[in-house]
A and B are shown apart, each in its own frame.
Chain A
Amino acid sequence: MNLKQNKQTDLKTAISTYVKPGCHLSIGGFTINRNPMAAVYEIIRQKIKGLHLYAHSNGQGVDELIGGHCIASLEIAYAGSGKFASTCIRFKKAVQEKQILVEDYSNYQMTLRFLAGAMGIPFLPTRSSLGSDIIRQWGFSSEMRKATPGLPDDKLKVMDNPFKDWCDTQKVVVVPAINPDVTLIHVQQADLRGNCRIQGLTFADVEQAKAAKHLIITCEEICEDDVLKTDSDRNQIPFIHADAVIHIPFGAYPTACYRYYDYDPRYLKDYAAMANNDKAHGDYLETFIHGLDDHQGLLELVGQERLKTIQADPETGYASNLDRR
């Protein structure tokens, strides 16, 4: 957080200032929607390594960070990109080859963990996962947890309802708070101070933003001071949480941004094919990330014509009749 009046900066500076090797990171969005892809690609481009990533179901962004060799450990509920990859491909490979450590939770549990972090409390309870291996199997060993600063000693705990049978509940699972060093989100509109307006589903972006020590916001549109304040009922994240604001049109590309553009089915399909083969994936990293200066470079490589096909229909908020086969 900071209270500066103008937090607008460029992405290279924001990433190098806040995303340090080995830091604890979380990214917003869900599977193939509103992932902060420009920021993800910039982290890969800057070769920032050893990151500890917190995710619920941030498909494409998670897979690219893993494939870009930035991730050492991951706490996650779901690694998939819908029909394009029912299990994220580089994630699958990295886990099977033991290149990354994984701790599994459910989506609700990860969301509650961000909310607990945002609230400043050590944990929150739920009834989800009682009787399952999410409780019994720990991806991070006790030794690793004790030896790693920034991780709680336990994955989670099952406890008796401290209010006896209140609400017909005998037991709860308590999950520990997350306070990422940095959260990255991509939103439709933000102003110079970092007030944010998200359109469509917010996923867990608001909780992730408020739980973080530092928040980096990329946005489709950057607004002058009073624009978002005149209709502030529609804003979800106030500026006090924000550290950096960067104006990047198509900043979620190739994932979707409701009311602006759809996901790019061709990019996601081509990515899945390349990610399946180490050599092709190496070429992908070179051509689509390291060989380019910035996100604008990617948009130019893909070309205006293709971007036009995913432009959102003003009525539906997505690209109606887009060829998605």
Chain B
Amino acid sequence: MDYTLKEMMTIIAAREIRNDDIVFCGTGISMLAAMAAKNINAPESVIFFETGALDSRLEELPLAVGDSRVMYKTSANGGLLDSFAAMQNPVTGRHVIGILGAAQIDKFGNLNSTVIGDYHSPEIRFSGSGGGCDVASFVPRSIIFMQHEKRKFVNRLDYLTSPGYIDGKGGRKKAGLPDGGPIMVITNLAVMRFDETTKEMYLSGVYPGITPERVLMNMEIEVDISRVKEEIPPSEKELRLLREKCDHQRLIL
């Protein structure tokens, strides 16, 4: 069955979400991945937004985390204080999985969504942290969506907006952060995970037809490719539920 790259990326993220996860969503594909998990493999997972909406019933895809569509049939409509406290509080926060994106990433999964170039005279200015830095600081697991390009997988970030493993194993503890960090990076070519011991990114999966060499050509950082496997494409059932239940208006797919 034919599928698009976006569908592949969405489904790979969705498969990572479990029934006891509270899923923090940003805008775009991250929201779609959370909806896909809920409709396909983790019906008891809970979708939640930094704006204060918990367990939203998403009948239509929101185009921003402040969209009124996130307010429909929630358990509670609160505010920013409620949502960030729920992530900082270890009782609830330890169940949260974040889904994030960024303009740059380094080998320890630290993210830049603020500037390209010097902070004081940037070549390109981006939106900034929003809740990204908060989520990355607080929660035990996060999934990161990236476009696979050399200028995005860099040795040195122009600005560290959201902490991953900082400088490797023990980096978060040294900085004073709770345990956590990214579990995977999903791109338009491949899937990267992080080594248990070093906390360094390695290539864990490529999409059918993509070689590890091609992946390496599209990143400035060098990563281990010895553990790579081919990713399983979305099944017919996954695709059907994704297309019919999650984005029937085709706003992202």
Contacts and interface: CB of A to CB of B under 8 A. Distances in A.
Given A130-B137, A131-B172, A133-B160, A105 B27 contact: no
B118 to A, nearest CB: 10
Interface in A127-155: 127-134, 137, 139
A31 B80 contact: no
Contacts of B161: 132-134
If over half of A's interface residues share one DSSP class (helix, strand or loop), that class is named, otherwise mixed; here it is loop
B72 A317 contact: yes
Interface string A1-42: 000000000000000000000000000011111000000000
Given A95-B122, A325-B251, A204 B129 contact: no
A32 B162 contact: no
A131 B160 contact: yes
A107 interface: yes
Nearest to B88: A127
Interface string A66-90: 0000000000111111111011100
> Main SS of chain B's interface residues?
loop
A115 B81 contact: yes
A321 B248 CA distance: 11
B66 to A, nearest CB: 3
A126 B138 CA distance: 10
Contacts of B119: 133, 137, 139
B51 A30 contact: yes
A238 B249 CA distance: 41
B124 A33 contact: no
A316 interface: yes
Interface stretch (B11-19, B52-60, B146-154, B232-240): B52-60
B64 A32 contact: yes
A171 interface: yes
Interface in B158-178: 159-163, 166, 171-172, 174-178
Interface string A89-122: 0011001101000001111110110010000000
Given A324-B63, A325-B250, A78 B79 contact: no
A69 to B, nearest CB: 18
Interface of A: 29-33, 56-57, 59, 76-84, 86-88, 91-92, 95-96, 98, 104-109, 111-112, 115, 126-134, 137, 139, 158, 168-172, 200-207, 256, 258, 262-263, 265, 312, 316-318, 320-321, 324-325
